[in-house]
Amino acid sequence: MLVLGIESSCDDTGVALYHSEHGLIGHALYSQTALHAQYGGVVPELASRDHVRKLLPLLNQLLSDTKTVLADIDAIAYTAGPGLAGALLVGASFGKSLAFALNKPAIAVHHMEGHLLAAMLSSPKPEFPFLGLLVSGGHTQLMAAKALGDYELLGETLDDAVGEAFDKNAKMLGLPYPGGPELSRLAQSSIKKPGTKGRFKFPHPMTDRPGLDFSFSGLKTFALNTYHQHQDENNIQLKADIAIAFQTAAVETLTIKCRRALNQTGLKRLVVAGGVGANTALRVGLNNLLTELNGEVFFPESIFCTDNGAMIAYAGCQHLLLRKQDQNHTISVYPRWTL
């Protein structure tokens, strides 16, 4: 079965073709980063309009690159939520209309389930059951993934998502949008001296009490206060020192909670998903943890950590194989949708 996946929930337009037997056939991605950079964040209306402009040319490019024609497609999977309502509507109306025109099934995919399964695009594939750590710009969640579609939320952030905290700290340090990767680069950077791990010690929020919930908004305030206290040194080294202190606290907090969740559930496999999963320090921390626990950790390829069409095609394909599909031609999106 050949499934076309469409992703348009935020500021990336993604399309991909996934085949149930042959795996990923191809994917194409258009990032709107440059469009939103001047505003320091995603402008929803501009995002929707750009998806409208880019989706069809991107699909044509994918079809031509993979020497596929529309008639080869057996089903269409699209992100139906959560995300920006207007942006979601572009992909949903496009996907459902195309499916209707081709007389093929369509399936609504949950964006976070797409992220959760993105590591399955790589080999070796994680098998169910596993602990999922979803770390994106909008979510920080720990999930017990028991089987396809059977996910139990174990803990989540009570305020900012970890990606959001990376972005806000980066903005405060004057780094360009999108801040997460920039802050991480600054933390690792060897500009003059590398960020001096240990100069500032940031708190590890909510690790001193039981439970698997997170809170990242306090780290932003802590970073801001540290910055103000040392403003006389306002230089790149101070910024690098704050960047590494923030990143270390965020990574260690996530690692502590993963250890706790693995102990609590008895699960031996950890699957990381979402944009922050591309962070090298997090990858190192979680690799060390799972080695210590004699378990396994799986990360998607970096390109499939952030939003993309391949994870939507993959997730849609797995559900279609279980004969799930949209039951009518209504176009619905769910900007707030729990997994």
Residues at the site binding ligand KG4, with contacts judged by CB under 6 A: 10, 136-138, 163-164, 166-167, 178-181, 184, 274-276, 278-279, 306-307
Nearer to Zn ion, 113 or 307 (CB): 307
CA angle 165, 79, 136 (to 5 degrees): 15
Given a contact cutoff of 8 angstroms between Cβ atoms, the answer to whether 9 and 84 are in contact is yes
Nearer to ligand KG4, 91 or 275 (CB): 275
CB of 26 to Zn ion, least distance (A): 20
Task: Give the residues lining the site for Zn ion (CB under 5 A).
Answer: 136, 307
Nearer to ligand KG4, 145 or 312 (CB): 312
CB of 323 to ligand KG4, least distance (A): 28
Nearest to 29 by CA among 73, 59, 72: 59
Nearest to 318 by CA among 160, 180, 125, 136: 125
CB of 276 to ligand KG4, least distance (A): 4
Given a contact cutoff of 8 angstroms between Cβ atoms, the answer to whether 300 and 114 are in contact is no
CB of 172 to ligand KG4, least distance (A): 14
φ/ψ of residue 31, rounded to 5: -95, 135
180 binds, among Zn ion, ligand KG4, none (CB under 5 to 8 A by kind): ligand KG4
Nearer to ligand KG4, 241 or 307 (CB): 307
160 binds, among ligand KG4, Zn ion, none (CB under 5 to 8 A by kind): none
Structure token pair of residue 235: 């230089």
CB of 329 to ligand KG4, least distance (A): 27
Nearer to ligand KG4, 184 or 253 (CB): 184
Nearer to ligand KG4, 166 or 216 (CB): 166
276 binds, among Zn ion, ligand KG4, none (CB under 5 to 8 A by kind): ligand KG4
213 binds, among ligand KG4, Zn ion, none (CB under 5 to 8 A by kind): none
Nearer to ligand KG4, 13 or 306 (CB): 306
179 binds, among ligand KG4, Zn ion, none (CB under 5 to 8 A by kind): ligand KG4
CB of 249 to ligand KG4, least distance (A): 13
CB of 102 to ligand KG4, least distance (A): 28
Alpha carbon of 274 to those of 151, 222, 278, 329: distances in Å?
16, 25, 8, 30
